[in-house]
Chain A
Amino acid sequence: MLPTDTNSVAFTIDEVTHTIRFARDLDASPERVFDAWTQPDQLANWWDAMGDRLAICEMDLRPGGAFRFVSRHHPDKPFTGTYLEISPPARLVFDANGATGTVLLDEESAGTRMRVEIACSSADHLAQFVAMGVADGTGKTLNNLEKYLEANG
């Protein structure tokens, strides 16, 4: 387990189970957070890290149903996958880029404790997945990483 932020456990990479974990306390009920994840007009509002509304947000919300999120900045890099489990308002499981994403929503007195887990199949897959996610970001580390990936195919 490698916590990258020593002040909190909001983000951890578990290298043994190849799982990335996030946690966030939200000032809203689990029902509302679940809707924000599962209604296209809502998710389109917040998914893009740059803050722009998604260009395309399609969801076939049922087990086995596909989704496709396309940002304006990276129309060439859609976030696509398949829903595996839809259990409102507590649990949403999907497959994306070969990793399994699980959203867990627990009701708390102040709102919702949201946990997001991204489970990769291997350490190599974990490294690739992080690198892919990085492709949307900015900064020097990104440039270094992109250069590395280009150089190493």
Chain B
Amino acid sequence: MEINLDRAFGALSDPTRRAILARLAQGEATVGELAAPFRLSQPAVSKHLRVLEHAGLIDQGRDAQRRPRRLRPEAIKIVADWAEPFRILWERRFDNLERHLAAEKTEKS
């Protein structure tokens, strides 16, 4: 399934869904296992899971009876890519700082 960036951002904009993702980052879990720590009903969790699944952030594990949900590795990459321009901005800024310090050193010596 392809990851739709807009849908992924939409899915990530909810704190409960981010918490569910954080839980799944530790390993696959069933709806029941996910519902317990969040004090949510199973239908409420299922609703969140559908949003996450629709966004391509999670899928279902192989065990057909337990139907555990698991994080898709691509999901991690989405979040990483999302922050990438921010990282680049600051890295450029620090590159400039290095150049500035080097130029200043040359001036003074």
Per-position 1/0 for B77-109, Cβ under 8 A of A: 001111111111111111011111110110000
Contact (Cβ within 8 A) B94 A141: no
Q: Determine which residue in A116, A137, A147 has the highest number of CB atoms from chain B within 10 A of its CB, and name it.
A: A137
Asked whether, in the complex, the Cβ of B104 is within 8 Å of the Cβ of A11, the reply is: no
Q: Chain A's nearest CB lies how many Å from the CB of B101?
A: 4
Which residues in A have their C-beta under 8 angstroms from that of B93?
46-49
Report whether B85 and A13 are in contact in the complex, using a CB–CB cutoff of 8 Å: no
Q: Is A77 an interface residue (CB 8 A)?
A: no
| B15 touches A (CB below 8 Å) | yes
Chain A's closest residue to B98 (CB) is A26
Q: How many residues of B contact A (CB 8 A)?
A: 35
Distance, CA A130 to CA B83, complexed state (A):
7
CA distance A78 to B28 in the complex (A): 44
Chain A residues touching B, range: 35 or more
Q: Quick one: given A127-B12, A148-B6, are A133 and B86 in contact (CB under 8 Å)?
A: yes
Report the minimal beta-carbon distance from B89 to chain A, rounded to whole angstroms: 5
> Are the CB atoms of B96 and A51 closer together than 8 Å?
yes
Q: Which residues of B contact A42 (CB under 8 A)?
A: 100, 104
A33 to chain B, nearest CB (A): 7
B18 at the interface (CB under 8 A from A): yes
| Any A CB within 8 A of the CB of B36 | no
- B13 beta carbon closer than 8 Å to chain A: yes
Interface residues of A (CB under 8 A from B): 2, 4-5, 10-11, 13, 15, 20, 22, 24, 26-28, 32-33, 36, 42, 45-51, 114, 116, 123-124, 127, 130, 133-134, 136-139, 141-142, 144-145, 147-148, 151-152
Q: Are the C-beta atoms of A26 and B85 separated by less than 8 Å? A: no
B96 near A127 with CB under 8 A, answer no
Complex CA–CA separation, A151 to B13 (angstroms): 13
Q: Which residues from chain B contact A48 at a C-beta distance below 8 Å?
A: 93, 96
Closest to B80 in A: A4
- Asked whether any CB of chain A lies closer than 8 Å to the CB of B27, the reply is no
